[in-house]
Amino acid sequence: MESEFLPPEVVDEMVEVRRDLHQHPELSWTEHRTAQALRARLAAMGLSPRPIAETGLVVDLPGRVDGPRVALRADTDALPIQEETGLPFASVHEGVMHACGHDGHSAMLIGATRLLLADPPALPVRLIWQPAEEKGAGAHRCVEEGALDGVAMIFGGHVDRHYPPGVLVVSEGPVNASTDQFYIDITGQQGHGARPHESLDAIVVGSLLVTALQTIVSREVDPAHPSVVSVGSFHAGHAHNVIAGRAQLAGTIRAQHAAVREHLVASIQRVGAAIGQLHGARVDVDVQRGTPPLINQPGPTALARAAAAQVVGEDRVVGLRTANMGGEDFAYYLQEIDGCYIRYGARVTGREGYPAHSSRFDFDETALRTGAAWLHRVAHVASAHLLEADRG
């Protein structure tokens, strides 16, 4: 398989890049050293990357002929987490850690760059190192600044501890959920705890809201469509004998289908208004939109699967086992053009219980080989497909 025959110097460089970035993580919109380190690697290859979205990089590689581009994307930002892995290359920055594998994704794309320069596909390739994925905003900013200009298809992926190294996870349809947030302010009437009839208890109203919100998914949404409404924060009151006149709730809304997403938003607003009216309280609901659902289209997914089979073999290409309700701003690219987002098996034996965004998260570095090989191969497969379609 292709991933078994990567030049040793490419593998070594990817490990170096991954460990360097892991040791020096940077939060969203502050990835200045990260961009500098990646730019130095690309300059050593004779490339001149241009900045995008403040702290991102874009570079175009020529194909054998001119035409529409295939884009490959990696993300670069870290998380506000104190690392507890004990790795010899652990973060040197207090409270900042690469706890989601973006250091690996960036390294994979460096390796893929080496492979593409040595073996260019038919059509040009655009490489995107994108900042601020964890904020759900980097991809949107890249789109606004022209990252997809002249691009016909885009591909990317994410390390995944649920699957062993050497496995590629390729699924058609929804693979990540939307990530909207809601904030509910409740205004009642503060009063003495001994005289509740003189007050309007915001805690009671908020408690009813928390309970009612849980019925939206369980009673209004088709069970075949995974979705979530979770209240993560409830703040009210300050003394044991004072009835709270104000309360604030905050939570997250997750959906894998656009229609379900809109239904959840409308239902939260409806429930908030109804419970406020029922108890005579003022209830203000503010829904802030996050990333849309990430949905892989059939055509690009077939190309991604074909490339994956060439890299790891048919028997090691699998589909998602369960719905993934996490968000991924790669979805913004797929709102504009065709593309596919996959998963790289990267389980570390003994660390299976440490998920992404955990202080002990790590991934098997052999996934770097698989990821780079797939990015290289999918650029070839998609390029050939686009060229054939253009000639047809």
Give the whole-angstrom CA distance, residue 269 versus residue 190: 24
Helix, strand or coil, per DSSP, at residue 54:
coil
Which of 376, 389, 385, 369 minimizes the C-alpha distance to 120? 376
The helix (run of H) or strand (run of E) holding residue 288 is strand 282-288
% of the chain with per-residue pLDDT over 90: 95
b/e map 225-238, b = 16+ CB within 10 Å: bbbbbebeebebbe
pLDDT reading at 4 higher than 70: no
Residue type, 372: A
Do 33 and 26 contact (CB within 8 A), yes or no?
Answer: yes
User: Does residue 390 carry a pLDDT above 80?
Assistant: no
Answer yes or no: is pLDDT of 41 > 70: yes
- What pLDDT is recorded for position 315? 97
d(CA 285, CA 253): 13
Can you give the pLDDT at residue 257? 95
Name the nearest CA neighbour of 254 among 288, 222, 289, 229. Answer: 229
- What's the pLDDT at 1? 64
Confirm or reject CATH 3.30.70.360 for domain 180-288, answering yes or no: yes
Q: Which CATH superfamily is domain 2-174+295-391 in?
A: Zn peptidases (3.40.630.10)
Q: List beta partners, residue 176.
A: 294
Q: Tell me: the pLDDT tens digits for 185-212?
A: 999 999 999 999 999 999 999 999 999 9
Residues 89-101 have a mean pLDDT of 98
Give the Cα separation of 287 and 3 in Å (integer): 44
pLDDT tens for each residue of 205-241: 999 999 999 999 999 999 999 999 999 999 999 999 9
Q: What is the pLDDT of residue 208?
A: 98
* Region 35-53 average pLDDT: 98
Question: Mean of the pLDDT values across residues 112-134?
Answer: 98
Domain boundaries, the chain: 2-174+295-391, 180-288
Q: What is the mean pLDDT of residues 261-271?
A: 98
Closest CA to 183 of 112, 106, 265: 265
Q: Are 344 and 367 in contact (CB under 8 A)?
A: yes
> Is the fold of 2-174+295-391 the same as that of 180-288?
no
Banded pLDDT at 352 (limits 50, 70, 90):
confident
Model pTM score? 0.94
- CA 102/CA 118 separation, integer angstroms: 25
SS (H, E, C) 343-354: EEECCCCCCCCC
**Given this model, what pLDDT does residue 392 score?**
62
- Note the residue count of the chain: 392
Contact call for residues 80 and 95 (beta carbons, < 8 A): yes
